[in-house]
Structure 1
Amino acid sequence: MLNIRNCRRCGKLFNLVGDPPLCQECRKIEEEDFKRLKEYLFNNPGATLSQVSLELDISIERIKRYLREGRLEIAGNSDSFLLECENCGAPIKSGRFCKDCLSDLTTELKKVSREISGSITNKADPKENHNIKYLYKDERKK
């Protein structure tokens, strides 16, 4: 089924495949901008968010999105935190969750996964014959 959307950047209609909601042309431009950003940060490791934004003409919001996506991280021992954990509000340098909340989330997901797995296993009746066999031509006609 098609998931037709308007591109967030240019407004053109396109079939949404994944996030972010960008058409192929704008997605390509965004990837090229990210490569420039990565190269700039490699050559200017102490650059601030404002410097990067001004030098490369990339919005601060886009750079923050890259941080949220985990594609970038605030360097070293910097006291500069631009993001907050989506769960508890603690300051973070990259991603969506702090280490504690990520650990809790992982633990909960593993627990639910085990419960679902156990539930599926318990529903299978061991007395039932689940063997697969080949049907001969004459058996199929019956």
Structure 2
Amino acid sequence: MGELRNCPKCGGFFNYTGVREVCPKCTQDEENMYEVVYRFLRKRENRAATVERIVEVTGVEEELLYKWVRKNRLQPALFPNLGYPCDQCGRITTSGKLCNECADGLKKDLNKFNAAREFRQARENQDKATYLSDRNNK
């Protein structure tokens, strides 16, 4: 069973079931805008249009374009200048939540952290070595 929520676009109430983030009326409006954008992009001369150009010609919100690219409704393989902002730095990316530079930086930091942890563990194991002496038996 869903929960009652306010639509973030129009403020109206709707039954949220986890599928759509907006009310049915706004969902239909988004679908109509998607059709306008898709018809624009299907034309050969518009396939390489940038996000700014699409917004200018169709009047659709930038955030909706990003949402459709994230959900693979508009595929960057077909429309090469489309993407969405990286969650960390804001650069345009076409897959995942992070751009390649941020993902590489994160991987490098994780590798450094793992190397430091392994070094600390090796030092701790080295310090735990027990040495027996035979002083009292002489």
Q: TM-score, normalised by structure 1?
A: 0.55
Larger Rg: 1 or 2? Answer: 2
Gaps of 5+ in 1: 102-142
1:23 and 1:73 map into 2 onto residues whose CA distance is 25
1:90 and 1:57 map into 2 onto residues whose CA distance is 22
How do residues 1-142 of structure 1 correspond to structure 2 at under 5 angstroms?
A: 1-43=1-43, 44-75=46-77, 78=80, 82-84=84-86, 92-94=93-95, 96=97
- Native 8 Å contact 2:84 2:93 kept in 1: yes
Q: 1:47-70 CA deviation, whole Å, 9 max, x = no partner?
A: 111010011111111111111111
Given the superposition, is the C-alpha separation of residues 30 and 81 from structure 1 closer, same or farther in structure 2, using an over 3 Å criterion?
closer
Shift of 1:11: 0.4
Higher relative contact order (CA 8 A, sep 6+): 2
- The runs of at least 4 aligned residues of structure 1 exceeding 4 Å deviation read 75-81, 94-98
1:29 and 1:79 map into 2 onto residues whose CA distance is 24
The number of residues matched between the two structures is: 98
When the two chains are superposed, the root-mean-square deviation of aligned CA atoms in Å is 3.2
Gaps of 5+ in 2: 104-138
1:34 and 1:80 map into 2 onto residues whose CA distance is 14
Given the superposition, is the C-alpha separation of residues 57 and 70 from structure 1 closer, same or farther in structure 2, using an over 3 Å criterion?
same
